[in-house]
Amino acid sequence: MTVTTGSCLCGDVRLELRGEPRFVAHCHCANCRKAHGAGFVTFAGYAEEALSIVDPCGRLACFTQSDTGSTRRFCSRCGTQLLFAGERWAGEVHVAVAALDAVPGMPTVHAYADRAPQWCPITDELPQYGGPEGNAPL
C-alpha cells in the first residue's frame, strides 16, 4: 500500500496518507486563493480514514468558514495550510499537495476555473470546470 507523508513548514504537524488519492485537482475558488495566498491551490482528495495526523505539540488549528461551513486546518506555529473538508465532500479530506513530501499524482482537472484571476491565467490543457459548484464543464 502506498504511504504518502507530509508536514507543515516548521515540522510540528506531520501527515501520513495511506493509499491512492481519489483525485488531484487545482482549485481556483476565491476562498482557497485567500486561505493559501496563491493564485490557485492543488489538492489531493483522500477518504478521511486514509489520513493520520501526528501533532505532539498540539499545533493543528481549525478555521470554520461561516458562509460555507467548510473547515481548514493549519499549523498554528508556522501557518501552513494543510487540510480542507466540507459537507459537499462528506467522508473526504483534501490535502494541500504543497505540504506533501512526494506528489501523489498529477492534477487532472481545474475546479472553479471560471474564477481564476486575470493575474494567474490557466495555461495548460487540463479540463476546466466552473459554475456555482465548480464542477460544471466549461
Do residues 100 and 7 make contact, with C-beta atoms less than 8 angstroms apart? no
> Locate cell 460544471: which residue?
136
Average pLDDT, the chain: 97
| Confidence at 18, pLDDT banded by 50, 70, 90 | very high
| Confidence at 13, pLDDT banded by 50, 70, 90 | very high
Q: What is the Cα gyration radius of the chain?
A: 15
pLDDT for 105 equals 94
pLDDT for 60 equals 98
Would you call 113 helix, strand, or coil by DSSP?
A: helix
How many CB atoms within 10 Å of residue 29? 19
pLDDT tens by residue, 65-92: 999 999 999 999 999 999 999 998 999 9
pLDDT for 39 equals 97
| Confidence at 17, pLDDT banded by 50, 70, 90 | very high
User: Which of 83, 81, 46, 87 is closest to 69 using CA atoms?
Assistant: 87
> Locate cell 508556522: which residue?
78
Rounded to two decimals, the pTM is: 0.95
Burial of 126 (0-12, 13-18, 19+ CB in 10 A): middle
Do residues 28 and 112 make contact, with C-beta atoms less than 8 angstroms apart? yes
| Confidence at 59, pLDDT banded by 50, 70, 90 | very high
pLDDT tens by residue, 95-136: 999 999 999 999 999 999 999 999 999 999 999 999 999 999
pLDDT for 130 equals 98
What domains, with CATH codes, occur in the chain? 3-129 (3.90.1590.10)
| Confidence at 35, pLDDT banded by 50, 70, 90 | very high
